[in-house]
Structures are given as structure tokens and as C-alpha cells.
Amino acid sequence: MRYFWVVSGKKLLIGAVICAGICVAGCVASGVGKTVAATATERDLPIYSVDREEKVCALTFDAAWGNEDTQQLIDILGKNNIKATFFVVGEWVDKYPESVKALSDAGHEVMNHSSTHPHMTELSADQMIAEVKDCNEKIEKVTGCCPTLFRPPYGDYDDSVVSTMRSIGMYTIQWDVDSLDWKDPPASDIVSRVVNNAQNGSIILFHNAATNTPEALPGVIEGLKAEGFTFLPVSELIYKDHYTMDHTGRQIPEQTEKSGSAE
């Protein structure tokens, strides 16, 4: 799968003018700190990462096409006692219900990646909701659990996608570390890229059916463990309330919640 965003020159110019105006007003009125907060609210962002004091991260896998290595990934994660989050397309559930059940039975989260893998920004709000609800129903029928997390196909989102998902109780999830496994780099490159870029609260992107992911995954896990990381599924990593978002899509807990759990 390919991840890309298309932004017109006109939109860039408008965005630049708006941001410049906000920055000037913020600096004049009350200093740089509030300027950052103001600009962060200009866009409705999905969750890219989470501000966590402890060294914890989440491994995530998108499943939309093939199914060659799902059991192998389950075995590797099970050997290391790691629970991951799999974002699956509804059509993938139709083709491979036994793999969806195997993921759930192994304790992994099975979450929503749309029903037919469209560009969500090209859909109306009603069409978005239909895509997600259809996928949720398929997943729940197999696993008994209704998803609460949504990852847009192609990483393609805008304010309307995020707000529409929120309106039906779904958290929109992106990533801050991309393994680029879909480009089929050598396993060693995947390992170094992930381990070198992970930070506290990172959400790491992989794909099932990517050529070298099963070979790379043990090295990724070993490398992250050597750096002191532990692993949580995304629903346990993110904050469900009492948080703000910075301009990078990083969840920042309210001060009273910072030392508490991500609930």
C-alpha cells in the first residue's frame, strides 16, 4: 500500500497566511506558549503518538490484501508475550475470518481499517460512517468485540474524517514510526529504522503480507527491548479523555492525569 497526501498550492498559501496571522497575534498577545496551543487547534488531528513518561510503545499491523504471514506474526508476537493491534479491512475479514479469529484468540486487538479501503477524504460523512460501521459489524461477528479505533486507508484524512469518526465513538489512529516494510527493504533496514526512531508512546506501523516483516519483527522486538521498551496495544496506550493534542498529533495528558494510567 502507498501512503500519500495531496495538498494544492492554493491550500498551502492559505494555510501559511492563516498560520502566520495566528503566530503574530499569539506572540503579541501572550507569548510563544499560547501560540503553539492556538496553531494546534487549527486542525483536527488523529493520534500519531502519546506523551508517556515510561518507555512504552505499540506495534500495529495493517491487513488489507494478502494473508501469507498472519500466523507467523501471531507466533512471533506470542513467543515474546506481546499484544499488538491489527487494523483490518472488512473485505479482508470476509476472505480470512479464521485469521481474524486467530488474532483475537491470541489476545491481539482487531480494529477498523474501513470496509473497502477507499480514500476517506473523497467520501461524504454518511459514506464514511457506512464504511466504518460495516467493517465494525464484520469484526464483531467474528471476534465478539466491536472496534473503537480506526485507521484511515493510505493514511488519508482531513478534519471531516477525524470529526466524523469521533461522532460515532471512534478514535482515529495514525503512526509516528513507519517501518516502510511495504517497500520491501531488507529486514535489517526495517529493524534499524524502527529501533532508531521509536520514542516513548510511539505507534509503529507494519503490514501483514509485507515481504520481509516476519524476518524483521524478532530483531525489532529485541532492539526495542534492549532500549528498555515494553509494549501495549493501542487502546491501552492512548488516553481516552483528559488530554490535548499538539501540532504533531501527539496526545498530551492533562497535568492531573500525567502520572496516572491511560484511561
Catalytic (active-site) positions: 62, 207
Number of H helices, E strands in the chain: 10, 11
Per DSSP, the three-state class of 100 is helix
Look-up: residue for cell 491489527? Answer: 86
Per DSSP, the three-state class of 244 is strand
Between CA 211 and CA 47 the distance in angstroms is 27
Residue whose C-alpha is closest to residue 188's, from 240, 229, 223, 139: 223
Count Cβ atoms below 10 Å from residue 25 Cβ, excluding itself: 13
Look-up: residue for cell 492559505? Answer: 14
Q: 65-91 as b/e, with b when 16 or more CB fall inside 10 Å? A: beeebbeebbebbeeeebbbbbbbbbb
Sign of CA dihedral 201, 175, 72, 210: negative
On the CB side of 17, how many CA atoms lie within 13 Å of its CA?
5
